[in-house]
Amino acid sequence: MTNIACPALFLTAPASGQGKTTVTAAFARLLKRQGKDVRIFKTGPDYLDPQILAQASGQPVVQIDLWMAGDPWCQHQFYLAAQQADLILVEGAMGMFDGEPSSADLATRFNIPLAIVMDVKGMAQTAAAIAVGLASFREDINVIGLIANNCGSERHRQLIEGALPPSLPMLANVARSEAIALPERHLGLVQAHEVRDELEKRFEAGADALDAAGFIDILRYITPVNFEAITVDQSTQGIPAQWLTGTTVALAKDEAFTFIYEANVALLETMGATIVYFSPLHDQHLPVADALWLPGGYPELHAKKLAENHAMIADVKAFYIANKPILAECGGFLYCLQTLSDLNGDSHVMAGLIAGQGVMRGKRGCQGMQVAPLPEGDIRGHAHHRSRSAQTPVPIAHGVRQRHPAPGEAIYRERQLTASYLHLFFPSNAKAIADLFLGQAG
């Protein structure tokens, strides 16, 4: 067994909204300015935070999740990162112990020390009490200290630090500043490419603030972690066969369709597929391809322009009628319906590959991990949307929720079109994905 040692730190929090992404991005930019190679992992099925963190660090960001991806795949990703990185950062999801598996579970599995990021606005010694409670909640975790975010003053920092025990030091404090906060919208953070210049200003301001506060001293608390290479019999995938050699997959990617796991693209290429990108918003025609992938994104923000691109819609319809494989996920599913109502309630004509209407519904939505029981095999993924579909055909199946008996998202199969609200994680079943894009149900 080959081991590679690399310093690593897991940034967790008592809850969502504590500033984990802001702190992680600013820290990554500070280290990047010093010439360090920082590799970041984001816990859970998140598309938006990784875009932010990739821009801040200048390196690809990999989503990591024990349930969705499987233990061997996660182990291999850490091993690959450790071969190149000066430091590995992992940003947790939600609260430290939330979910099954939780951020704490992931950190424990790979022996990565944790630092608690906490928004300390409105409290002082109580912040220390919460941090101590989190650090002592389980015996199998290694919490090395507290990062106090939104710290109001030097006195505020002193009150918190003075209440912490020697075993749980104040690693750093981040001063309260609107200049480093990250912009948000209805599904979370704004996509990085939409506000790239603005993000650059915030990354630099954040890095300046951390540098001035001596944040770089946190490195002395971060020790090397041993990451092991997987053996063939450990891996559920091994090295996927060249099942897609000679197959060209057309992948929609523009302002409306951006929710794409890089791990999914990498797997298709590993299996021999050629990926060609196109824009349903800007291009007039589909590229020549054997299969079509319409991922999630924000079609509701661009519904009018999508509807007005009649030439592209005609090509997508022709592709469907030719009985070629199409995978449509969430936003891609909405694009395949007859109409889509945007956030203003205006209805726009979509591709009409299957019957139904998509309607945005404000703050109410659906999310959670699910298995898609497709004819090709079970594929793990998740749902996260704030729209609903109506008057759709009878589904061929429903997603199986991770921890709830109620039926999950409806899954539709019309000709060779597979459509649902689910975002699929391809490495969870490489053979099933290959068969789907080949149009060969197992």
Number of domains in the chain: 2
pLDDT digits (tens, 9 = 90+) for 264-274: 999 999 999 99
Residue 243 lies in a domain: no
Judgement on whether residues 260 and 340 belong to the same structural domain of the protein = yes
- Indicate the pairing of strand 170-175 with strand 143-151: parallel
Largest Cα–Cα distance of the chain, in whole Å? 70
SS3 call for 74: helix
- Indicate the pairing of strand 248-252 with strand 423-424: unpaired
Separation CA 247–CA 274 (nearest Å) = 6
Residue 240 lies in a domain: no
Q: Are 46 and 93 in contact (CB under 8 A)?
A: yes
Which residue among 228, 259, 286 closes a domain? 228
CA angle 188/255/288 to nearest 5° reads 135
Residue 92 lies in a domain: yes
330 is catalytic: yes
Separation CA 16–CA 232 (nearest Å) = 37
Judgement on whether residues 50 and 85 belong to the same structural domain of the protein = yes
- Indicate which CATH number applies to the domain containing 69: 3.40.50.300
Judgement on whether residues 202 and 330 belong to the same structural domain of the protein = no
SS3 call for 300: helix
Residue 311 lies in a domain: yes
Residue 238 lies in a domain: no
pLDDT attached to residue 191: 59
Judgement on whether residues 221 and 277 belong to the same structural domain of the protein = no
Judgement on whether residues 86 and 216 belong to the same structural domain of the protein = yes
Residue 254 lies in a domain: yes
Judgement on whether residues 213 and 337 belong to the same structural domain of the protein = no
pLDDT digits (tens, 9 = 90+) for 76-108: 999 999 999 999 999 999 999 998 899 999 999
Q: 426 to each of 39, 133, 295, 399, how far by Cα in Å?
A: 22, 38, 12, 15
pLDDT attached to residue 442: 42
Question: Computed from CA positions of residues 360, 366, 368, 369, in that sequence, does the dihedral angle turn out positive or negative?
Answer: negative
Name the active-site residue from 6, 74, 151, 330: 330
Judgement on whether residues 159 and 307 belong to the same structural domain of the protein = no
Phi-psi region of 104 (alpha: psi -120 to 50; beta: other; left: phi over 0): alpha
- Indicate which CATH number applies to the domain containing 402: 3.40.50.880
Judgement on whether residues 285 and 158 belong to the same structural domain of the protein = no
Which residue among 228, 261, 291 closes a domain? 228
Judgement on whether residues 297 and 384 belong to the same structural domain of the protein = yes
The one-letter code for the residue type at 229 is: A
Which residue among 200, 228, 256 closes a domain? 228
Judgement on whether residues 187 and 283 belong to the same structural domain of the protein = no
Residue 117 lies in a domain: yes
Residue 133 lies in a domain: yes
pLDDT attached to residue 1: 56
Domain holding 296, by residue range, is 248-438
Judgement on whether residues 220 and 150 belong to the same structural domain of the protein = yes
Q: Are 441 and 418 in contact (CB under 8 A)?
A: no
Judgement on whether residues 194 and 315 belong to the same structural domain of the protein = no
- pLDDT by 10-residue block (mean), the chain, 442 residues: 90 95 94 95 88 93 93 93 96 94 96 96 96 97 95 93 95 82 54 72 89 85 91 53 96 95 94 98 98 95 96 98 97 96 90 94 71 96 86 95 87 96 95 94 51
Helix or strand holding residue 217 (H, E): none
